[in-house]
Chains A and B, each alone.
Chain A
């Protein structure tokens, strides 16, 4: 038990040093624009189908679930509002973050982990290129920029599929659905909810890279760093979500 606590403290300590080193390296020129764009493509564009699908599934499920309960209270007119509200406020952001944690954090953890154990990261450093700038900063920046955009995609496909599922049960025009759904939704509800996913992106990128860079001991180490990356990224995303929702409620209501 004592050992577990110690290793936990050690992890947080190392993570702190890692983050400050990264911040210091990232602000100094030259900047890695090309590599960042490449990572945005890798992390953003290639997560698109997955995120769209996850969002769509959420839309359908929400529509199916809420229908019965709302009918029970005679409030089915509220269904579009319930779907759109819950997707933009919570379901869209968190599903996107979790799906991306699974895909991207694992990918980064495994990629950097295997580069570490095969000395490729040493090779980058030995050729006078900072692995922090070249490998880590580019990935973290890509995650931060891409998460809000991916969330928009999840929101969009969730709302669309929510409408399709709703209209399949009880036909309603998209216009009416949209009007009813967004009537009580202001920009200040939508904007902080979506942009908080940039923080999720930061968490996913940082943890993925950190776990990868501290991989040791061959293929087993790579496996561990990939698993650790997914588990910790998902966990911290959820914890951060709680804190951020609380903060948003304080500052934007």
Chain B
């Protein structure tokens, strides 16, 4: 974190992305303050995941600006971009753990690559991270041997390995049962309290929206249709927002 800098950690302006004839993002403006959690809500195919991939530079936008800590990342060359990426954690939708590496090696991967940490220190750090997500007992297991929810936890530990100041999470609870989803959500909230990271969480699950967000942006047809707090969303007259809120009510609650 850079204390000298008081602007938003992440600033997105007029972001556009098309795939062939299909416009996925059509002029997105978003800000994420330091320590804030912004939830991006939207239907499947509304460009939520694409937005995350644009932020970390896995895809290039057609036009528009993305600034992280006041650095324009869309114009960076690979080497400079990698410096920015080291301070961003990314939790993939299906966790994307490396199949050929064990749980602890997965978490150690970024540390091994980017730090000159001595072996014992690294082992200690990996153990710390796995304890944080409640996976210390499974450290020697291979990804194929653990459940989807456990993979998400390990993915989260890996995303946190480099002490990121921005955490991007793509559907952290999709495909999980409500109880496991609730556990992951409280884990995310706990992490935010403990570490003060800014997060962008992409989801279509109201449960996650309610439990983790400071602020919500609803994406629809390539634009930000609605922005505000959870209460703003509930009070909104917007049909789509109402449909999402209703979906959340039908699910069992984990207050």
Contact = CB atoms under 8 A, between A and B. Distances in A.
A126 B110 CA distance: 10
Contacts of B90: 123, 126-127
A206 to B, nearest CB: 21
Nearest to B161: A127
A45 interface: no
Given A128-B86, A130-B78, A122 B98 contact: no
User: Interface majority SS on A: helix, strand, loop or mixed?
Assistant: helix
A129 B96 contact: no
Interface of B: 53, 56, 58, 78, 82-83, 85-86, 88, 90, 92-94, 96-99, 109-110, 113-114, 158, 162
A119 B94 contact: yes
A118 interface: yes
**The 9 A-B residue pairs with the shortest CB-CB distance in the complex, in nearest-first order:** A128-B82, A123-B96, A128-B85, A119-B96, A126-B90, A127-B110, A128-B86, A119-B92, A120-B96
A114 interface: yes
A21 to B, nearest CB: 10
Interface in A117-159: 118-120, 122-130
A120 B86 contact: no
Contacts of A57: none
A103 to B, nearest CB: 17
Contacts of A127: 85-86, 90, 109-110, 113, 158, 162
Contacts of A119: 92-94, 96
Nearest to A117: B94
B115 to A, nearest CB: 12
A231 B122 CA distance: 43
A118 B58 CA distance: 15
A195 to B, nearest CB: 32
12 contacts: A114-B99, A118-B99, A122-B53, A122-B96, A126-B56, A127-B110, A127-B158, A127-B162, A128-B83, A128-B114, A129-B82, A130-B78
A128 B96 contact: no
A130 B109 CA distance: 13
Given A119-B92, A122-B53, A125-B85, 15 more contacts: A115-B98, A115-B99, A118-B94, A118-B96, A119-B93, A119-B96, A120-B96, A122-B96, A123-B97, A126-B56, A126-B58, A127-B113, A129-B113, A130-B78, A130-B82
